[in-house]
Amino acid sequence: MTIAVFGSINIDITAYSERLPRPGETLHGTRYLTGLGGKGANQAAASAKLGAPTHLIGRVGDDHFARSALHALESFAVDISYVHRDSSNGTGIAIINVDARGENFITVIAGANFAVDDSDVERARAGLAAASVLLLQLEVPQAPMMSAAGYAGQAGAKVVLDPAPVPPNARDMDLSLIDIITPNEVETEHLTGIRPHDIATAGEAARHLHARGPKSVILKLGEWGAFLSTGEEARMIEAFKVAAVDTVAAGDCFNGGLAYALSQGMDLGESARFACACGALSTTRYGAAAAAPGLAEVKDLLARG
C-alpha cells in the first residue's frame, strides 16, 4: 500500500561538538555532515527505506541544494513526481548542532517549504487519492496541509500528524481531519497545557487531544517509550534500549515506521511498537534521513526486544 508524505524538504548542515555552545560562544567542533533533511523528506525516506512505495509532495528551489535533495530522495527510492521546483525561492536548509550525548538544537530556514500552497495539493491529487496513509508535519503552511488531509481522508487514507515544529497557535489548531497525532513531550504541553511525566498526565493530555478530533493519540516520550490512547484503550509501549549517538532523526523515523506498519495492516499497538523500534535504531547513527533503518534490522530489534 502506498504512503504519501506532504511536507518539507531541506538540506541539513550538522555540526558535532562535545557540548552545545552557549549564547555568544564559539566552539571548535569535531566534524560536520551535510545531507537530506526536512521532516517531510525524513519521513518519506524512513518509510521508503523500509520498503513501502512512498511519494513526497513538496517544494525545493532551483539551486544546488535542490539537486542534492532530489538526488538523495531518489537514492532512497522516494517517488519525487510531486516535488515542485520553485524558481522564486531557495531550497530549505537546517543548521543543526549535536553534542556528545546526542542532544541537539536546530535552526531551520524554510525557503521554498513556506511557499507550498493549494497548487501543490492539486498537482498531487492522484497520489493523495491512492495513499493508504498520509504523513503530515508543520514545516509547511497549515492551510494546504489541511487541504491535503481532507482530500486524502475522503479517499480513505489514515491521516497522521506529527505536530512539529509546534506553532504559536498550537491550542487553536484545527485537528478535526487528523486520525492519529504523534506529539513529543514538549509539543504535547504546547497543544494541551499538560507536560506528560507519568501515565496519569499522559492520559489526561491524550483526552484533551481526542476532544479536538484525533481518534488515536501516540505521545512520543523518548527513553520512556510511547503512550498510546484510542479513547477506549490506553497503555505504555516500552522503549528499546540502544546506545544513542544522535537523536535528530528519532521522531521522523518513528512516524515513517508507523506509516509503514499501518500500510502493512498491523493494528495500532503493533504499529506503535514497530515505530518505537525504528526511532530507537535511528539514534544509533548520525544524520537525519540517512539514519533511517531498513526492515531487516527493525525486525531483528523487535525479535530481541
Distances (CA, A) of 125 to 121, 133, 227: 6, 14, 33
The pLDDT of residue 140: 97
| CA atoms of 155 and 148, how far apart (whole Å) | 11
| CA atoms of 65 and 202, how far apart (whole Å) | 40
The model's pLDDT over 215-230, given as tens digits with 9 standing for 90+, comes to 999 999 988 899 999 9
Say if residue 305's pLDDT is above 80: no
For the record, the C-alpha cell of 137 comes out as: 508535519
Mean pLDDT, range 113-138, rounded to an integer: 97
The pLDDT of residue 288: 83
Which of the four pLDDT bands, split at 50, 70 and 90, describes residue 105?
Answer: confident
Q: pTM here?
A: 0.93
| Residues near 164 by beta carbon (within 8 Å), at least 6 away in sequence | 39, 137, 138, 139, 183, 184, 187, 251
Mean pLDDT, range 82-87, rounded to an integer: 98
The pLDDT of residue 253: 97
Say if residue 162's pLDDT is above 80: yes
Give the chain's mean pLDDT: 95
Q: Which of 120, 162, 252, 300 is catalytic?
A: 252
Mean pLDDT, range 112-137, rounded to an integer: 98
Mean pLDDT, range 1-9, rounded to an integer: 96
Task: Tell me if residue 62 is catalytic.
Answer: no
Strand ranges in the chain using DSSP code E only, listed in sequence order: 2-6, 10-16, 31-37, 54-60, 79-85, 92-98, 104-109, 131-136, 158-161, 180-181, 216-220, 225-229, 234-238
Which of the four pLDDT bands, split at 50, 70 and 90, describes residue 58?
Answer: very high
